[in-house]
Structure 1
Amino acid sequence: MHVVVGSENPVKREATTRALERFGPVVRTVSVDSGVDEQPRSVAETITGAENRARRALEACEADYGVGLEGGAARFENAPGLFLIMWAAVTDGDRLERASGPSIRLPDPVTERIAAGEELGPVMDDVLGTDGIAEGEGAVGALTGGVVDRSDALASAVTCAFGPFRADQYRDS
């Protein structure tokens, strides 16, 4: 199985490889434009970014599947605060499937800076005194005390977005 990920971020490649490892994937990456803001600020914008990355990756490279991963920040009805969210999209060129990864409430000082227009990665780097957190444990790793890192979280999203291509229950959907 040949898979192309619509980002050159090594964490996104690792997450996709981990999610699909039982199928022995050959995973490549390609830089594509998500078509959304650098810091998506809604579920809809985050999903659109993942979809665009999946489609554009498959258009750019010969592969069986294109994978798009996008992180964002969003508010949910009945849940106070701003949440870090992650979405994946997988396409075979005909079908496009989507799934979310885990979400976690962002600390108030981080929320204030995101609401003021800053991007999560640089904000987290500033708060933590790190450089390049988005290509390592990610905000989710820092905010769970290392229990779940960004690769784990994104792998969950990829697994669930890929599921409908494998599960019989979706054959006629």
Structure 2
Amino acid sequence: MRVGVGSTNPVKRRATESALSSIPELTVESVAVESGVSEQPFGERETVEGAVNRAQNVLDAGEFTLGVGLEGGVAEIEGADGLFLIMWAAATDGDQIGRGAGPRLRLPDNIADRIRGGEELGPVMNDALGTDDVPETRGAAGVLTNGIIDREDGLRSALAGALGPFVTGFYR
């Protein structure tokens, strides 16, 4: 099975490989595609749209059996105070599409204020930590949970949810 993941971020590729590890003869290829949403998706709707667009765009970009899109964003969650880091995944074979969500982590107020002010989460986290690799390594999730869960774990979980229509007959 040849799977395209709509990003060149190594964390997104590893999350895809991990979520699909039980499939024999699997190859996962990273492909740079547009998400069609803002660099910092805000809200569930925009984050889901980015994941779906990436999945469809990568499927259109090559001879893939399955296209995968993974998108991180931020959102205000009804019933909870604060701004949350969110993760969404989409998978498509061209006929059907699956969607799944990862964990939600409340952002510290000082980080949330900067995001609300128009900055992107990755650069804000890099600035807060004095580094330049948070999005390509543990992600904000890893930083905010001290490694209990990291970006790869969250994206893998989201993709596992999106794979339902492709691994069971319940969605037909």
Please, which runs of 5 or more residues in structure 2 have no aligned partner? none
Structure 1 stretches of at least 4 aligned residues deviating more than 2 Å after TM superposition: none
Deviation, 1:167, is: 1.1
Which residue number in structure 2 is paired with residue 6 of structure 1? 6
Which residue number in structure 1 is paired with residue 80 of structure 2? 79
Deviation, 1:168, is: 2.1
Per residue, is there more helix in 1 or in 2? 1
- TM alignment of 1:115-130, pairs within 5 A: 115-130=116-131
Distance in 2, matches of 1:37 and 1:78, equals 25
Q: Quick check: 2:87–2:155 contact (8 Å CA) kept in 1? A: yes
Which residue number in structure 2 is paired with residue 44 of structure 1? 45
- TM alignment of 1:1-173, pairs within 5 A: 1-24=1-24, 25-170=26-171, 172=172
Amino acid at match of 2:52: E
Amino acid at match of 1:165: F
Deviation, 1:163, is: 1.7
3-state DSSP class of the match of 1:102? coil
Considering only aligned residues, what root-mean-square deviation do their CA atoms show, in Å? 0.7
Q: Deviations over 1:113-150 (max 9, x none)?
A: 00000000000001111112100000000001011111
3-state DSSP class of the match of 2:42? coil
Please, which runs of 5 or more residues in structure 1 have no aligned partner? none
Q: Quick check: 2:97–2:165 contact (8 Å CA) kept in 1? A: no
Distance in 2, matches of 1:61 and 1:98, equals 21
Distance in 2, matches of 1:77 and 1:150, equals 23
Q: Deviations over 1:67-118 (max 9, x none)?
A: 0000000001110000000000000011111010111000000000000000
Distance in 1, matches of 2:17 and 2:65, equals 14
